[in-house]
Structure formats: C-alpha cells, structure tokens
C-alpha cells in the first residue's frame, strides 16, 4: 500500500485520560496494563503520570520518583514559561515497550502555580502536543481529585476511561465526575468523549457482585458505554505495583492478564469504529 504524501504526518495519538477522583479504583493498574496491552498489539504508547504521588512511576519500576531530575512538572514549567520542549525530553523507556513521562511531588507545587497562569487548563495539552505525532496512544494516569491537574488531563484528552470499583457508594462519586467532564466539554474541550466505565475489583462469583454489576449497567449503560470486560479482584494484581512490571510479565496466565488483554481489544475495536465513522463523515 503506497502512502500518500499527507499520510505520514497524519498519524496522531489518541489521548485517553484514566480518571476517577476516588482513590483505590485501579486507575494506575489500568493505565499501566492497558498501555502495555496496546504495545503488545503493536501500538506505540506513551504513559503519563499526572499524579504528584507518582504511583504510576513507582509501579513501572522507578521506585524513588522524588530523585528523578526531570519529570512532568519540568515540562509543564517550560510550557508555562513559553520555553521550547525538545522531542523525547524527560521520557523514560520501560522494558515492556512503552514510554513514560514520570511524576513526583514537584507536581503538587505545579498545581498551585497553575492557578495564576494564563491558559492554565491547557498546559498539559501544550506539553503533549509535540508527542502526539510520535505515538498511537497516550494514556494519562490522573490524580484522585478533581483539581487543576485533572482538569488539565481532561483538556488534553480525546476520551476518558473511568475505572470504578463495583460498589454501591462508587456511583455517588461518578455523578460528580460526570459533571466535571461535562463542564470541561462545554468550556474547554468540546471534542472530549467518554470511552466507558470499567468495573474493577469485581467478584462475579457472589450474588452481591452480580447485582452491583447489573445495577451499574442498568443505571449508566443507556448513556455511557460500560465495558463488557470487567477486571476481577486479585491478590496477584495487588502485588505487581512493587514488581516494576505489568501483569502480563508477572502473571501472564492469570485471570487479570486475560481481563486486560480483552479490555485492550475492546479499546482497539472502539477506535476502529470511531475511525470508520470519521472517514464516512469526511466523504
């Protein structure tokens, strides 16, 4: 297949913000394993840690994020000062074929600095614009809050993936998150879509687990995609954050690895559908 002149330049990453203001919903685990799942399918993937706690950076094997000389906050500072960002600056390479922009506690100071900055919601978008041509997917691991950093992630994203623990109480926080996403869409990023809700830490062997699953699908499934695939609760999955590698490398035959493989295929199938729709509209 011959490439037309514009095709090479036309490659542009899909940016997915993995977001939930509630902690403990498997955001970081999902960011890492979906990212590495996409890389295993031949995609070029950049993961971005947008959390001052550096959970993604740590779980990918950089155990002392506060000792890293340059991180996401370095790049955002440059964007705020209108300084150029070099291609590949601050990017770490992970053995399983993905790249990472790490974060550490300096990002907490950056959140405060953003408040007084012009164009403050768009700083992360500016940082990522140069990387969009280099990757197929950029995954953002958001901080568990609805503050300035999360708003920056939503402003930079094409779509959001919401990991949600299969519990009654989770649904309350979801309403608040959906309001924030709606507000960002109206005021800052009209193209922002919701990729779907991902039920995590599920236990479908129990009646309670099945009930929750059905409740969330009935309550939200009409308005928002709820991924077919759920992520089961697992001790092995909890262990990987200390191992510096993905579930595919740590427990490749386990149920969580199977689940993330299947989620990856759902995300890719959805991207194909969106592409077909766009090209039909363009005709």
Q: What is the mean pLDDT of residues 191-217?
A: 88
Determine, yes or no, domain membership for 1. Answer: no
Say whether pLDDT at 7 is over 80: no
Percent of the chain whose predicted confidence (pLDDT) is above 70:
94
Q: Is residue 4 part of a domain?
A: no
pLDDT for 117 equals 82
Q: Which one is predicted more confidently, 138 or 275?
A: 138
The mean per-residue pLDDT over the stretch 91-95 comes to 96
pLDDT band at 198 (very low <50, low <70, confident <90, very high): very high
Cα–Cα dist 237/101, whole Å: 23
What are the tens digits of pLDDT across the range 57-82?
Answer: 999 999 999 999 999 999 999 999 99
Q: Domain containing 167 — which CATH number?
A: 3.40.50.300
Predicted structure pTM score: 0.92
- Residue 217 · residue 185 · CB < 8 Å: no
For residue 81, what are the domain limits? 9-282
Residue among 135, 116, 138 at smallest CA distance from 125: 138
CA distance from start to end of the chain: 21
Region 52-57: mean pLDDT is 95
Classify residue 262: in a domain, yes or no: yes
**pLDDT tens readout for residues 208-231:** 888 888 888 888 888 899 999 999
DSSP class per residue in 76-127: HHHHHTT----TTTT-EE-TTS-EEE---THHHHHHHHHTTSTTGGGHHHHH
Instruction: Specify the pLDDT at position 180.
Output: 93
Tally of domains within the chain: 1
Task: Look at residue 99 and tell me if it is in a domain.
Answer: yes
Over the stretch 256-270, which tens digit does the pLDDT of each residue have? Answer: 999 999 999 999 998
The mean pLDDT value of the chain amounts to 89
Give the position of tokens 């959390």: 51
Domain assignment present for residue 3? The answer is: no
Q: How far is the C-alpha of 191 from the C-alpha of 279, rounded, in Å?
A: 16
Confidence of residue 273 (pLDDT cuts 50, 70, 90): confident
| 104 belongs to a structural domain | yes
- The number of C-alpha atoms within 13 Å of 1 and in the hemisphere containing its C-beta is 4
40-43: long-range contacts at Cβ-Cβ below 8 A with a sequence spacing of 24 or more?
Answer: 40/97, 40/248, 40/261, 40/264, 41/264, 41/265, 41/268, 43/136, 43/137, 43/268
Does the residue 109 lie in any domain? yes
Paired tokens of 98 = 């993905």
Does residue 51 lie in a domain region?
Answer: yes
């Amino acid at each position: 297949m011959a490439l037309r002149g514009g095709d090479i330049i036309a490659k542009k990453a899909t940016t997915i913000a993995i977001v939930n203001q509630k902690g403990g919903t498997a955001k970081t685990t999902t960011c890492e394993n979906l990212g590495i799942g996409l890389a295993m399918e031949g995609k070029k993937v950049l993961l971005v840690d947008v959390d001052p706690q550096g959970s993604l950076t740590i779980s990918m094997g950089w155990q002392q994020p506060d000792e890293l000389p340059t991180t996401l906050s370095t790049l955002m500072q440059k964007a705020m000062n209108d300084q150029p960002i070099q291609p590949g600056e601050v990017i770490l390479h992970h053995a399983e074929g993905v790249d990472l922009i790490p974060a550490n506690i300096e990002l907490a100071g950056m959140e405060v600095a953003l408040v007084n900055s012009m164009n403050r919601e768009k700083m992360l978008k500016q940082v990522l614009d140069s990387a969009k041509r280099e990757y197929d997917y950029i995954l953002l691991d958001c901080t568990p809050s609805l503050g300035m950093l999360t708003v920056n992630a939503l402003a930079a994203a094409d779509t959001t993936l919401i990991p949600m623990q299969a519990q009654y109480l989770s649904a309350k926080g979801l309403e608040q998150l959906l309001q924030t996403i709606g507000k960002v869409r109206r005021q800052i990023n009209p193209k922002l879509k919701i990729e779907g809700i991902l039920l995590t830490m599920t236990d479908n062997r129990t009646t309670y687990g099945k009930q929750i699953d059905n409740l969330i699908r009935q309550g939200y499934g009409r308005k928002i995609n709820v991924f077919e695939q759920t992520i089961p609760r697992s001790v092995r999955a909890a262990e990987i954050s200390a191992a510096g590698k993905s579930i595919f490398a740590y427990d490749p035959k386990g149920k969580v690895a199977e689940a993330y493989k299947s989620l990856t295929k759902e995300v890719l199938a959805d991207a194909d559908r969106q592409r077909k729709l766009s090209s039909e509209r363009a005709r």
